[in-house]
Each structure stands twice: as C-alpha cells, then as structure tokens.
Chains A and B, each alone.
Chain A
Amino acid sequence: MPEITGFAFPNDIHVTWSLMIVMYPYITGFVAGSFIVTSLYHLFDRQEFKPVARLAMATSFAFLLVASLPLQLHLGQPQRGPFVIVTPNFTSAMAGFGILYSFYMLVLVLELWFVWRQEIIERARRSRGTKRAFYAALALGTYDTSPEAIEIDHKAIKILAGICLPAACMLHGYVGFIFGAIKANPWWSTPLMPVIFLLSAAVSGIALLILLYQVHAKLERRPVVASCVQALASWLWFFLILTITLEELELIVMAYEKSESWLIISELLTTRLSFSYVTMQMIVGGLIPLILLAVVVLMNRYLHEKVRNTLATVAAFLTLIQVFSMRWNIVIGGQLLSKSLRGLRSPYEPEIFGREGVLVAIALFVAPFVILWVFDRVLGIEEPEGGPAANPPAAPPGAAPAGSHVP
C-alpha cells in the first residue's frame, strides 16, 4: 500500500497510468521529432540535413511501428483495443489516436515507398527467386525508373511530406492534449501542454538523430559530416531553449498566480519529484546540455571535429534523459497528487517483470533500433554511393555539395 502524506481521496492512491504511459509519449516523440528533421531537408531544402534525411525518415517509421504498443500493453483489456477504431467516441481525445495514428502511418508508408522505390526496383532486378518476388511485390510490379517516373516520385514525396509534417505534429501535439485537457488534474491542465510536448518531441528527435547518425556513420564506415552535426546541434539548442522556457513558464505562472493547486504542486516538485524533476529534468538534462550546446554553436570554428562530436553526443544523450524525465514527471507526477489537493502518495516504483514493467519498457525502446537494422538490411537506409538513386530528391543540381566532407 502506498504511503499518503496529507489526505488523498481513497481511490486516488493508485497510479493507474503506469510506466507504459510514460513510454508512449516518449516513443511518439521520436516519431514526430525525427520527422521534423527529415522535413527540414525534404520540405525546406536545408541541405545540411541531407546526410540524416533518410535515416530520420526510417527512424520515424521504426518508432511509429512500436508507438501504439505501450498503449496496448497498458490496457486492462488489450484484446478490446481495436474498439478505439471500431466504436470511436469522438468527444474523447483518446479516440482521435486511432484515427491520427492510422492516418500518419498511411501517409508515412506512402512517403517511404516513394523515397525508396528506386532502391526496391534495383534490388528486385538484382535478386533471384523468392527474394525477387518479395521486392517485386514491394515495387507493386512496376519497374519504371524513367526520368519522368522519377519526376513524379519527387512531386509525390514533396506533397506527402507536406501532409506528413502536420500529421506528425498533430500526432504528438495530441498526446500533450490528452494530458492538457484534463481539467480534474491541475498538474496537467494547461493549454501549454501540447506545445511543450511538441517542442520536447523535436528535442528528443534531433538528439536521437545526433546519436544515431554517429553510430550509423561508424557502422557504415562513412565520415561524419561536420556541417550536419553542427546543424543538428544548433537546432537541438534552439528547441531545448524553447522547451525549458515553456516548462518553467508554466510553473512560474502557477506560482505567481498563487493558484489553489500551487501549494500541493510545489510540495510535489520539491519532495516526490525532487530527483526526477529538479535534478534530472532541470539540471542534468536541461542546464548542462544547454551549456554544452551553447559551446558547440557559439564556438563552432574553434572546435576540433572530435571535440564537437563528443560535446554534441553528450548533450544529445543528456537531452534524451531530459525528455524522458519530463514524460515521467508529467505522467507519474500527476498521479502522485490527489485531486483532493491535500495529499501526495509515496513515489511510484514500476514493476520489473510483467506486462507494464521495466523490462518491457526497455524492450519497447530497443525494438525500433532492431527495426531500423532490419530496414537497413532489407532496403538500405543510405543510398548506395554512385547508385541510380544518387541524385537527391527535390534538390537543385547545384546545391548537392553543401554537405561535403570535412577535410
């Protein structure tokens, strides 16, 4: 039985939303965040992101495949999960998930197909037997790689990316809405919530790509493009500043207004969440990466490549912790506080084994990387050098060398 300080409504002492509901926005955040990175290249022609554009799109896809699993695992009756789509109650924010998730999945798969189509066709031509049948099926039986067809692909990619970006933002902004629109819980109920979720999604997506890019480059034995790391670091800095500012603003407003819930929330933050909020979310995951990234961005030209990569990697790793802490503090923190606004329950400790346990959470976090590895084996994340797909989509011919190698 959890310990209660003060008075909690007798049913208010259970953490109904477990570790899985912490994992859910964390994973969805990567979906949206990495899609924002790929859009910077595909939609906004930021050439410095070219080296990670395909990786980012594949990452978004890999995380999307597992994004609904934590929700399914959390349900008391998982076999009834599909009823969210079968009999959706549209006044519920959660009913929107089925629709938004399916829609984003559809558009992203279409986009992936157009981006990787030449690759699929190439592999279909090269392989034999069942492998060939597999790639032929993936190519839907048409092997048209004429310049006209490629031109159509590029147009389709642009249009789909234009639909996909708002869909990705909505998918994640909506996760923030799930919490932000609960008027019963003062720690959740703020219109800032969707915005904070969206910004921290961008943070987690960019941070993850800084790490993935370095690992992937090592595995592929390709050089790490300095301008790309530099650009990722600057955007990470930008989004981290916005995120932390908003996270703090929310509190400052609450404190300054002396809102009825501030007394209990300040107690929550300084007692139950002092480690996960103050230490992890604000200092280790917030302040330190802010300083590291400031160094990377402001002292760019004085930095040796290795120093820059190391600083960016450490900062990225810490921001990943920041975002996880933020999800934890919102989801779990909101349930430690009773709606009586008079009591807090003892900290929640997730189970280790079991359906909603720590091991499953770790598996859920690792799964997208396995999917990425499979994706790489089946389709190849990077375009083969000098291959038919070498010309970048939507990039003007002269702009290609912008992300050239560091001497």
Chain B
Amino acid sequence: MEHGKHVFRIVILVAVILAVVLLARGFLVPRTYGLYGRYRGANVAQQMDARPVLYAGAAACADCHSDEATKRAAGAHKNVNCEVCHAPLGAHILADGSVVKPPVDRSFTLCARCHRKVAARPAGFPQVDLEQHVNGPVEGKVCLECHDPHSPKP
C-alpha cells in the first residue's frame, strides 16, 4: 500500500482527535457522577440542605403560645395549622433567633377562603353565602365580630 499514505495519515489524525476528546471528557465528568446512578451523587445531599425549613407545624408554635394552642386544640380548628393564618414560623422567628411580628390578616377574605360557599366544597363542610350570612356590608373584620378564630362556633 505505498499509495495509501494519505489514508494512513488521516486515520492517525482521527485517532488523535478521538483520544483528545476522550481525555477531555475524563476531566469534565463531575466527581460524584455515577455514585448512585446516572446523576451527580453529591446533589442528593445538596437537596437535603437546599433551603431552610419555613413551616414548622403547630406543635412548634405551642412552645411559646400555649394559651392559643390549647384553645385551638379543643375547638373546631384543631386541625388547622397556625401557619395557615399566621404565615410560616420561619418568617416569625428568623434563623438568627430574632423575632419578627407576623402579619395577621383579620379581614373577612381570610375566613372566606375556606368558608365562603363554593359549590365544589364538600357538602358537610361549614360554609356560608357571605351576603346572606352577614347583616350589613361584607367588609373588614366583620367575621371576628361574632366568631373567635381560635375556637370558632357556628
């Protein structure tokens, strides 16, 4: 094959390029890739610590606010987490231990979110037609005039 010199040369060239690509790939693969499967294993731990926990649950609130907690636990809202109405604990007590006053929505819209009559709600769930239920304008803290949100009675 004395006339095949050019073929020989191009084959060598291709082999060199392939080797360079493979070598480069070796440097680029993340260190923990393939540890548990075809993904970067280190990400699992990163996901666990991805962000701070904001919603701590009603039990954590009871540590300070035992009066409200006891009252709530005895009433119809016993399954309603404090943070549904009072925003997450993580926004109340910051990571450095400082306390921020949580926003409390006392308007009727907060109550209406669960208790306004909507056809899709389960039939047994307490809900009212706001306009018929309230004597006078439906505005402001009108619900709180009669109901205690920590221990509501119908």
Residues 384-402 of chain A, each 1 if its beta carbon lies under 8 Å from chain B, else 0: 0000000000000000000
Q: How far is the CA of A144 from the CA of B6 in the complex (A)?
A: 8
List of A residues within 8 angstroms of B10 by Cβ: 110, 113, 140
Q: Would you call B29 and A87 a contact (CB within 8 A)? A: yes
Contact A156 B29 (CB under 8 A): no
Contact of A140 among B1, B4, B9 (CB under 8 A): B9
Q: Which residue of A lies closest to B6 (CB)?
A: A142
A140's nearest neighbour on chain B, judged by CB, is B9
Cβ of A148 < 8 Å from any Cβ of B? Answer: yes
Say which residue of B3, B13, B28 sits within 8 Å of A148 (CB atoms): B3
Q: Is B51 part of the contact surface with A, judged by Cβ < 8 Å?
A: no
- What chain A residues lie within 8 Å of B7 (beta carbons)? 152, 156
Q: Is A82 an interface residue (CB 8 A)?
A: yes
For the complex, give the distance between the alpha carbons of A156 and B6 in Å. Answer: 11
- Interface check B133, CB cutoff 8 A: no
Give the chain B neighbours of A87 by CB distance below 8 A: 29-30, 33, 38
Query: Smallest CB-CB separation from B12: which chain A residue?
Result: A140
Contact indicator B6/A86 (Cβ below 8 Å): no
Instruction: Tell which of A82, A89, A117, A152 touches B3, judged by Cβ atoms closer than 8 Å.
Output: A152
Q: CB of B14 within 8 A of chain A? A: yes
Q: What does the 1/0 interface line of A138-164 toward B look like (CB < 8 Å)?
A: 011110101011001000100000000
Q: Mark B52-84, 1 if CB is under 8 A from A, else 0.
A: 000000000000000000000000000000000
Instruction: Give Cα A82 to B28, complex, Å.
Output: 9
Q: Check: A85 CB closer than 8 A to any chain B CB.
A: yes
Interface residues of chain A, those whose CB is within 8 Å of chain B, are: 82-83, 85-87, 89, 106, 110, 113, 117, 139-142, 144, 146, 148-149, 152, 156
With contacts A144-B5, A148-B3 known, what are 10 further pairs, Cβ within 8 A? Answer: A85-B25, A86-B28, A86-B29, A87-B30, A110-B14, A140-B10, A140-B13, A146-B3, A152-B4, A152-B7
